[in-house]
Structure 1
Amino acid sequence: MVNAQKGKAKEVTVTKQGEWIVDSGASDHLTCSLDNLVNVKVTPSTFTIKLPTGATTSISHIGDVILPNGLKLLDVLYVPLFTHNLLLIHKLAKDAQCDVLFQPSQCVVINSKIKKVIAKGVLKEGLYYMQCKTDPSEVCMSVAADTSSGEIRTIRTDNTLEFSDKACVEFMNQKGILHKKSCSYIPQQNARVERKHRHLLEVARALRFQSGLPLSFWGECVLTAAHLINLLPNITLNFCTPYEKLHEEVPTYEHLKVFRCLAFGKDPSCHNDKFTARGYLSIFVGYLILQKGFRLLNLV
């Protein structure tokens, strides 16, 4: 996969950024793209790892990865000279409290508590690749089955085929849900969705213009915009916030920060030296979803 002779890396095969190979022999989760990581921390140059070719290379960063299907991978190592994303089975099973079942053509990840399939992998060229793209019909069924969202009687979508598969149709019929579709090329019939989409983009655009961040940080702007919108009073909700309507409690605002403000992240690798700097210079780029913390961009 990698030729590391004379300090140069020659790529032979490259895994796509969003593809993850399910592996049982690796020592840690590995990624070939720094863009996959959140909660990024810089590692000392003494941290090294041995590649499948036998070559040894250093690890420059470590962080977490949140896959589109909702799985969270902790302590993922970023290896610049590596060309694949590896998902370690026993670490995933321990951190996510799940079971992994291997079948002849696929592997499935099952939540140990609710006994529900939360991810799937397909067999290609002798390797299992995790499917990180979320199926819209599965999301629809998951939301409809969630009693905390209230009882759903009608769902309106465009004419996309994802919501017309057999499993989704049978689920809606079983739950008594009426599936309405908009007319082709008439986005006005999805006016509420279009307005929400416009509102989200306007707030995200304002955050990016105010912060001066490059366009590559559009994802952080959108996530932060959604977080702020959920905490703002809404006139259609009688000046309640969406958060209050969902959780039946008034939200707190002490944790809010100015987008792109100066911050100092804690460096856990310096605990052995009392005179080493304890933090690194960074900027604030958002809020964590599954943890009580912030997303920081390391400037060092």
Structure 2
Amino acid sequence: MDLQDQGVIGSGCSRHMIGNMSYLTDFEEIDGGYVAFRGNPKGGKIQGRGTIKTGNLDFENVYFVKELQFNLFSVSQMCDKKNSVLFNDIECIVLSLNFKLTDESHVLLKVPRKNNMYSVDLKNIVPKGGLTCLFAKATSDESKLWHRRLGHINFKTMNKLVKGNLVRGLPSKLFENDQTCVACQKGKQHRASCKSKTVSSISQPLHMLHMDLFGPTFVKSLMKKMYCLVVTDDYSRFSWVFFLATKDETSGILKSFITGVENLIDQRVKVIRCDNGTEFKNKEMNQFCERKGIKREFSVARTPQQNGVAERKNRTLIEAARTMLADSKLPTTFWAEAVNTACYVQNRVLVTKPHNKTPYELFLGRKPALGFMRPFGCPVTILNTIDHLGKFDGKADEGFFVGYSINSKAFRVFNSRTRIVEENLHVQFSENTPNIAGSGPTWLFDIDALTKSMNYKPVVAGNQSNGNAGTKACDDAGKARMETVPGKDYILLPLPSGDDEKKVTKEPGEKGGDSGKDSKSNDQEKKDNVNSTNTVNACFSTK
């Protein structure tokens, strides 16, 4: 009963409300809806309203709520009559409309009014000089209007202008983006981000394989390969590379690889993640994965970032191979050997997070040995153990180191004499000897010298896969041919010999084997020679 005789002044009260009708004058019954309190949206019904008179200050439009056990006086309703309300440590003072603040420096905090209450939004407390301001939120229509006025700038930038007081004329409100500006979507929309997982859910090798195919390369490798298939294990990041002449070989290689690797570590491949290329999405692969119970996950079209592990591995291998070719000064035809060596080395030296181990140890369960590794492309001497040598014949051939054998305890070396890549253990390395561009066989480094010496347009040779050693790098040089490489057409034409040149320049009537010919025959021959010369010039100028 004491509470019903007390009036509490609060800024959190939107309207004057009272639970004791005896204090009201000029009372009238109304159906004003409900008042929410105690967490109940229908905490009390507004049954009427009246006036409380105190002399100098009258409280008008006071709601009567029978269920309310105390009386509330709203600060905002007092301010509607242009009064000011001042709270201090001992009292609350209602000031007249003539009151003015003498010194603005005394103001330390400003709280905006919203819905007839002075509420503090803790998210929007912004220091503004020596003053702390709490900004009211702009309406949706107001935010859109100023967004259009300011050239569709970012809402974050608009709020910086307000909070930093950087401009004049912009309302001191917080503008919110409701993502309904169609013009901004048309002009600024970008691809959705594909965030990588912070913690991997894969706990064993071969659970998931990432794979991708890059190519065609602009230069064929030594075994005429133009594509490279890269397969990466998600758990260990152990990788395998396979070189292909056409994409059609992919299905057969994958079937053989999956069967072999499952048998190697006694685990099963459960998931394959790749793009939508036909080399992965075809009838043969569909039947194989269905029979093996392998789930396949495809990235969205034109969204390679969803297959980020494979794309990143491709880039790492290509950059490493490019660097090794530049350091060794070997021609680009050795790109497949460089990629194969880069994959072999990176499996043994990169550190996989969060296990802090190499891919080799995570996949095979033992630490790798690195003592036998040598620089790619360094000069070597290769012991000749194949040919029958005479007593005074040289025992070794010169060559270049191009990788490691995966099937034998041997090195892969290019023999400069036989022009083949072979696997041999009896090799001596010259690691400290710099590889000078142009050293070794002239045909290997100077393509123009090859053309002049062999009198034909060179065919870019292909590359050798991991399992094939000892294959010739070039075909028979004496065969005339025409081959099409992406972007270039090579046409072979016979060059005239010295005798032919004399015949072309011989004047009519000159003594010799043609002295018996009449002038008509000589004129015809001269005309044919001129046409032949023009044809040769035209063909050699064709790209």
Per the alignment, residue 295 of structure 1 pairs with 412
Match of 2:251 in 1: 137
2:343 alignment counterpart: 226
How far apart are 1:135 and its partner, in Å?
3.3
Q: Shift in Å at residue 265 of structure 1?
A: 0.6
Residue in structure 2 matching 1:154, options 271, 286, 289: 271
Residue 193 of structure 1, aligned match among 310, 313, 316 = 310
Report the CA distance between 1:174 and its aligned residue: 3.7
2:299 matched residue in structure 1: 182
Deviations 1:238-267, CA, capped at 9 Å, x for gaps: 232222222222221122111222211111
Unaligned runs of 5+ in 2: 1-220, 229-244, 418-543
Using the aligned pairs only, state the percent identity. Answer: 32
Counterpart residue number, 1:280 = 397
In structure 2, give the amino acid aligned to 1:283: F
Change (3 A) 1:282 1:150: same
Amino acid at match of 1:136: T
5 Å-filtered alignment, 1:213-292, equals 213-236=330-353, 238-269=355-386, 271-292=388-409
Structure 2: how far apart are the matches of 1:269 and 1:163? 42
Contact 2:248 2:279 in 1 (8 A): no
Q: Deviations over 1:2-33 (max 9, x none)?
A: xxxxxxxxxxxxxxxxxxxxxxxxxxxxxxxx
Give me the whole-angstrom Cα distance separating, in 1, the residues matched to 2:388 and 2:337. 30
Larger strand fraction of residues:
1
Change (3 A) 1:299 1:227: same
1:144-184 deviation per Cα after TM superposition (whole angstroms, max 9, x unaligned): 44242733332222112333333432332343322221111
CA contact (8 A) 2:247 2:279 kept: no
1:278–1:237 CA distance, 2 compared to 1 (3 A)? farther
Amino acid at match of 2:304: P
CA separation of 1:151 and 1:282: change in aligned 2, threshold 3 A = same
Cα deviation for residue 190 of structure 1 reads 1.0
Task: Kindly state the Cα deviation for residue 185 of structure 1 after the two structures are TM-superposed.
Answer: 1.0
Residues 119-130 of structure 1 aligned to structure 2 (within 5 Å): none
Report SS of the residue matched to 1:179: strand
Aligned partner letter, 1:215: T
* 1:163 matches 2:284: no
Contact 1:281 1:299 in 2 (8 A): yes
AA of the residue aligned to 2:302:
Y
Cα gap change, 1:149 to 1:199, in 2 (>3 Å) = farther
- Summarize the alignment of residues 17-28 of structure 1 with structure 2, pairs less than 5 Å apart: none
1:155 match: secondary structure = strand
RMSD between superposed Cα atoms in Å: 2.9
SS class of match (2:280):
helix
Kept in 1: contact 2:399–2:414 (CA 8 A) = yes
Listed as ranges, the gaps of 5+ residues in structure 1 are 1-33, 38-67, 69-130
Are 1:157 and 1:180, in contact at CA under 8 Å, matched by a contact in 2?
A: yes
1:235 CA displacement: 3.1
Q: CA offset at residue 143 of structure 1?
A: 4.3
Match of 1:211 in 2: 328
Cα separation, partners in 2 of 1:167 and 1:205, compared to 1, 3 Å: closer
Aligned to 1:13: none
Verify the 8 A CA contact 2:269 2:294 in the aligned structure 1. Answer: yes
1:270–1:278 contact (8 Å) kept in structure 2: no
With over 3 angstroms needed to count, the CA separation of the structure-2 counterparts of 1:168 and 1:142, relative to structure 1, is same
- In structure 2, distance between residues paired with 1:132 and 1:158: 17
Shift of 1:198: 0.8
Conserved 8 A contact 1:270-1:277 = no
Query: Quick one: structure 1 residues 299 and 140, their matched pair in 2 at CA, closer, same or farther if it must change by over 3 Å?
Result: closer
CA distance 1:237–1:275, change in 2 (3 Å): farther
Q: Rg: which structure is higher?
A: 2
Instruction: State the alpha-carbon separation in 1 of the partners of residues 287 and 352 from structure 2.
Output: 37
